[in-house]
Amino acid sequence: MPQTEKVLYSDKTHNSGGRDCTSRSSDGRLGVRLSSPGAPGTGTNPEQLLAAAWSACFITAVKHEAEETKFSLPGSMAIDAEVDLCTIGGTYGLRVRFNVSLPGLAREAARALVGAADQACPFSKATRGKVDVAINLL
């Protein structure tokens, strides 16, 4: 594993009940009620949080790659992220699908940007080879 050169940001959360509790960040900006997928109630689940966080990070990576390569991105670009909790080899695992919309951008340019973003996104790097990921260009 490569050595860390510089920490750009660090955060901390507190969770004391697994999927059925409240998780809070140390700075007080995040306070979220958690629940198991499909359970009744108002809490979100970790898979939804992963979908929201990873897709936000990924779209930021697309924007960064567009700046680096001088591509003009459409204002209506979006990612619909789907995260499945599943069993793999008798244990729990995840499967992820990103449906990426870059309307008005030539297909090859969009494919190149999305491929570069996948290589640059910290969430994608952290899960590469560990999570089944499909990236679909709409």
List the one residue out of 62, 68, 57, 69 whose CA is nearest residue 114. 62
Read off φ and ψ for residue 127, nearest 5 degrees.
-105, -5
For residue 17, the enclosing domain spans: 11-44
The whole-angstrom separation of Cα 108 and Cα 101 is 13
Contact at 8 Å (CB) between 73 and 61? no
pLDDT at residue number 80: 98
Could you read off the pLDDT of 76-120 as tens digits, one per residue? 999 999 999 999 999 999 999 999 999 999 999 999 999 999 999
pLDDT at residue number 101: 97
Domain identity same for 64 and 132: yes
| Residue 38 forms part of a structural domain | yes
| Residue 1 forms part of a structural domain | no
Domain identity same for 56 and 97: yes
pLDDT at residue number 1: 76
Structure tokens at 118: 């996948």
| Residue 56 forms part of a structural domain | yes
100 CB neighbour count, 10 Å cutoff = 23
Could you read off the pLDDT of 17-31 as tens digits, one per residue? 889 899 999 999 999
